[in-house]
Homo-oligomer: A and B are copies of this chain.
Amino acid sequence: MKLGVCYYPEHWPKSRWVEDAQHMRRIGIQYVRVGEFSWSTIEPTPGELHWEWLDESLDILHSEGLKVILGTPTATPPKWLVDRHPSMLAKDEAGRVRGFGSRRHYTFASLEYREECRRMVTMMAERYGHHPAVASWQTDNEYGCHDTVLSYAEADLAAFRLWLAEKYGTVEALNKAWGNVFWSMDYRSFDEIELPNLTVTEANPSHRLDFQRCCSDQVVAFNKLQVDILREHSAGRDLVHNYMGFFTAFDHHKVGQDLDVASWDSYPLGSLDKEPLYTEDEKHTYLRVGHPDAGAFHHDLYRGCGNGRLWIMEQQPGPVNWAPHNPTPADGAVRLWTWEAFSHGAELVSYFRWRQAPFGQEQMHAGLLRPDAQEAEAAKEATLVAQEVKVLAESIGLDADELMSLPSAGKVALMFDYDACWSLDIQPQSRAYRYFFWCYRMYEAMRELGLSVDIVPSNAPLDMYELLVLPAQAHITPELQNRLNSYQGVLLAGPRTGSKTETYQIPENLAPGPLASLLPLTVERVDALPEHTQPAVSGRWGAGKLKHWHEQIKTELPCLLKDDGGNPVLMGEGRHYYLGSCIDNTLLKASLAKLSEVAGLSTYYLPKGVRVRERGNVIFAFNYSSNTVVFVPQNAELVIGSKCLGAADVAIWKKQ
């Protein structure tokens, strides 16, 4: 449980650098991320390298005992480089070149740009690979930010044709897999295939899905190129990339397999304002703290992408600049977010950024320091957290560095799958349906029950879980089917599970496809509803409303919830259950409470806006509401905070 900060020495006079490092140390910061946007400072003109500023800067940080996460600057190639390789630029869906002038002006598929990255990363790795301050490397920055995963340039077309040829072998196989006979879309060779943009109406969904997969694989390959260099020249350092919240355009699990740690950039207020997931009421209630499950969801998701290792690379420290509206956080919110991250297993929480820049696109983005170098609110809260970490360590009898060893895994798993996400969102049937939203609402329901949840990829080991939820696992691979067959805990599969083959066709036996062997039922028809049509549902497990997606199912399984025509909505027995519809949050929570009971899991009763998370023998409690609430876990001793939690407050308990 360590603190860090993102720092841009190149933005400030050298005369400030020593004072900055000392100030960081005073606050309790141990890690500093450096360098990820500095290409034009390192190489202002082709081949003319300026390392001296970075040498000096790393030495100063080192001399103050700070550890460095060094970023490769490949998210911001300089203008001269772009002018040399104009074909490296991405094109948007409308076919327009996305030019220089901000950042991320490249397409992952550009082989020319990959060569430039190889050159730069090799130079950096050779120079700093063994620098004593360098503890870690960050590859690039926020892959995919500003919608940059899908690109429609010549380089992307070339990559796509190759990718398809490799996947399908023959074009006849591709025609069959995509069902190209449908509208005379058959191809005679891979060279006839185009990108799925600018078509007259929707392109073939199989075509679109493969394009998404190919683009995701370009991200993986782009990252792997850097990873290979860094492993060679800087062995033993943690390799990491900083993912974003609410972002699914590439397969984070695949990228994560090549790295040592997963990190992400946590902006609770900006995302609340921007994401269509949230209702107007939620936006209003949680304006200054963010939604209670936004941080938690991503912590659990990315811990699953990092083989259990999680950092927060950028933590919002105050108002930001990029959301439609940018309010100030509540007093205490920065502390709340930091402890929430630690409770989910984060080893490091690093604030973005050290000092607010007075220039550039993000000049209205707060830092720990204001532009005039005075401490902003967040600096005080970070200082407090650093002290509290010590208190916690002491009270549970660990040295502060050992806190990392506290187990962070839960007994409940929710399967999140990028491929399923792409598949289902390509054809949502009801505009109200989104894979991510549905997963989030299932997670939220479990978290309102106080369950500590792991969010796992489809290839994760499942044996350690008492309860496994597949929110909407579109395609069940034979390999997953095998693991599910032997899984001994309680399984809940949600609507759309097993509804597609690998190449986006309807399975021969209809949904849930192969899963029908565990859940003997057939999805006969789908009722995809508008937002405001919410038919009633009720049964032994509760009553509520259907939303967005409602399957008509034929089954002999016992029904726990039925629609108002008496048709099965939630069904199953023993260890296997199927939910055929999206249902409202309250009924979802009630249903998951029943399943927890079946699985032998105990749950909490929590006031509105309150969340808990357990890690080893420590219980963390968080109050996202703006009321003072009382929360006392059983058989536990208070370590930090009080049983009365004010707005944005935190309490920490030790189990007895």
Contact = CB atoms under 8 A, between A and B. Distances in A.
Contacts of A204: 101-102, 360-361
User: Which of A40, A45, A146 has the most C-beta atoms of chain B within 10 angstroms of its own C-beta?
Assistant: A40
B283 A325 contact: no
Contacts of A96: 94-95, 198
Contact of A363 (B40, B200, B205): B205
A358 B503 CA distance: 11
Contacts of A188: 44-45, 79-80
A38 interface: yes
A291 to B, nearest CB: 15
A277 interface: no
Contacts of A192: 79-80, 83
A33 B372 CA distance: 56
A387 interface: no
B358 A506 contact: yes
A400 to B, nearest CB: 31
Contacts of A178: 359-360
Contacts of A287: 530, 533
Nearest to A433: B325
B321 A527 contact: no
B79 A360 contact: no
A412 to B, nearest CB: 32
A83 B189 CA distance: 13
A196 B102 CA distance: 9
Contact of A37 (B182, B432, B524, B527): B182
Interface string A521-561: 00011111110110000000000000000001000000000
Classify chain A's interface size: 35 or more
A319 B203 contact: no
Interface stretch (A70-78, A342-350, A632-640): A70-78
Contacts of A360: 178-180, 182-183, 185, 204-206
B326 A528 contact: yes
A621 to B, nearest CB: 26
Interface string A82-121: 0100000010001111111111110000000000000000
A323 to B, nearest CB: 9
B181 A284 contact: no
Contact of A357 (B179, B196, B427): B179
A186 interface: yes
Nearest to A331: B565
B184 A77 contact: yes
B79 A185 contact: yes
A422 to B, nearest CB: 16
A465 to B, nearest CB: 33
A541 B363 CA distance: 34
Interface in A387-434: 427, 429-432
A364 interface: yes
B200 A98 contact: yes
User: Which of A90, A201, A273 has the most C-beta atoms of chain B within 10 angstroms of its own C-beta?
Assistant: A201
A95 to B, nearest CB: 6
B78 A186 contact: yes
Contact of A183 (B102, B196, B363): B102
Interface in A309-346: 318-319, 321, 324-328
User: Which of A37, A184, A194, A529 has the most C-beta atoms of chain B within 10 angstroms of its own C-beta?
Assistant: A184
B362 A182 contact: yes
Interface in A358-385: 358-364, 366, 370-372, 376-377
Interface string A165-196: 00000000000001111111111100010101
Interface of A: 10-11, 37-41, 44-45, 73, 76-80, 83, 90, 94-105, 145-146, 148, 178-188, 192, 194, 196, 198-207, 273, 280, 283-284, 287, 318-319, 321, 324-328, 356-364, 366, 370-372, 376-377, 427, 429-432, 504-510, 524-530, 532-533, 552
17 contacts: A40-B180, A40-B184, A40-B185, A76-B185, A97-B198, A99-B198, A101-B199, A102-B202, A146-B201, A178-B359, A182-B362, A183-B361, A280-B532, A287-B530, A325-B530, A363-B505, A372-B510
A-B pairs, top 3 by smallest CB distance, nearest first, are A179-B359, A182-B360, A40-B184
Given A99-B194, A319-B527, 13 more contacts: A40-B184, A102-B201, A182-B362, A203-B361, A205-B363, A206-B360, A325-B528, A326-B528, A327-B528, A358-B508, A363-B505, A370-B525, A371-B510
